[in-house]
Structure 1
Amino acid sequence: MKDLGQLTYFLGLEVHHRANGIFLNQHKYIQGLITLASLENTSTVDTPMEVNVKYRKNEGDLLDDSTLYRRLVGSLIYMNTTRPDISYVVHEVSQFMSSPRHLHLATVRRIIRYLQGDALISWRCKKQDRVSKSSTEAEYRVMSTACIEIVWLHGLLEELEFPQRLLLPLFMLITLVLFRLPPIPFSMNTLRLIVILSEIPWRVG
């Protein structure tokens, strides 16, 4: 048996050893996906999927050859190792492996264009530490937490002498919240919402 030293590359995973830990990325793997999908000269996109889009099994024309689609989706499933931000949309497109359509392939190409751009600098998926009594309250709690992190990132960049003058957009699934907001009758439940809401304006403003 031969000692090959520290692991630096394994099955598409690039391994970087640092004093504060081991870091993984799949930059070369993404470049291979871009070439496979013939997207070398295309622009990047900010989100892995379009807003308010529902993918249907029988919408659009069938692909003449589904081989490319299956290869791309299979590779994207593997990409979840280091890019959990695409897990939802990859789950969506993986449902059409048996009979993919041109629309589904366009969605897969969009995911790859998203990977071609910048990666997320912050990502979190966890159970809330408090029990929310409604989906509306849960959405507001997430919004409040996001605002706290935005303020922290602004402060960090300010200290690094990279001040951010533009307002940061905050994207939330708040359609339900907006339609349920007025009127707000007083109760213990709405009091909880008012307390959460009171944290948001000064953080955003």
Structure 2
Amino acid sequence: MIITSDDTVGISSLKKFISRQFEMKDLGLLNYFLGLEISQDPTGYFLTQAKYTCDLLARAALTNCKTAPTLVDLQTHLTPLDGHLLSDTTLYRQLVGILVYLTVTRPDIAYVVHIVSQFMVVPRSRHYDALHSKKETFVAHSSTEAEYHALADTTQELVWLHWLLSDMGVFDPTATNIYYDN
């Protein structure tokens, strides 16, 4: 059981009550739960899935791959007949399932996870390739230009997330701040 509140007296009281009813052990502050690494400071809690992600990369034999801003080019269109049938469909399904859970702390991968999850019944090589490759869409001539491209990509992602949330009935009229270091 995870108990969280800013009322330390209330938490202590609840723990005493529960321990009278059930045998329990207090494990202290939460730091790892179901693949989520939790840390805290006076401003709040922070969630990461770094270990979970490293385990995923090792399982998929992708530990030597280069990083990319997104997993797949947004212009990529996959069809059910792209590439040859995978010999190990179980691994594909497991990886997609792991990626679905990874979106808890990495909502930026939700788009590609949505795309590849459509092919779980009969996954093919091209669908698997979309999990770990991306063709670079531009070559920056300066770090400033690269930062402008990153800001443009971030803005595009934020607009997409805003539309997605609106479709789900979550409306937030406030603007989203984008911070950058130039």
TM over 0.5: yes
What's the counterpart of residue 6 of structure 1?
29
How many Å separate the matches in 2 of 1:126 and 1:100?
30
AA partner of residue 128 (structure 2): L
Q: Which runs of 5+ in 2 are unaligned?
A: 1-23, 135-152, 164-174
TM-superposed CA distance for 1:26, in Å, is 0.2
How many Å separate the matches in 2 of 1:31 and 1:75?
11
Normalised to the residue count of structure 2, the TM-score between the two structures is: 0.63
Q: Which runs of 5+ in 1 are unaligned?
A: 112-119, 128-144, 158-163, 165-205
Which of 17, 20, 28 is 2:43 aligned to?
Answer: 20
- Matched length: 127
- Paired-residue identity, %: 43
Q: Conserved in 2, the CA contact under 8 Å of 1:62 and 1:100?
A: yes
Q: 1:29 to 1:110 in 2, by over 3 A?
A: farther
Q: Deviations over 1:115-137 (max 9, x none)?
A: xxxxx99974336xxxxxxxxxx
AA partner of residue 83 (structure 1): R
Which of 107, 121, 132 is 1:84 aligned to?
Answer: 107
Q: Deviations over 1:38-59 (max 9, x none)?
A: 1112211122211311110112
Q: Conserved in 2, the CA contact under 8 Å of 1:37 and 1:109?
A: no
Give me the CA root mean square deviation. 2.5
Q: Conserved in 1, the CA contact under 8 Å of 2:70 and 2:109?
A: no
39-48 or 85-94: bigger deviation: 39-48
SS at match of 1:24: strand
TM-superposed CA distance for 1:109, in Å, is 2.3
Q: 1:126 to 1:59 in 2, by over 3 A?
A: closer
Normalised to the residue count of structure 1, the TM-score between the two structures is: 0.56
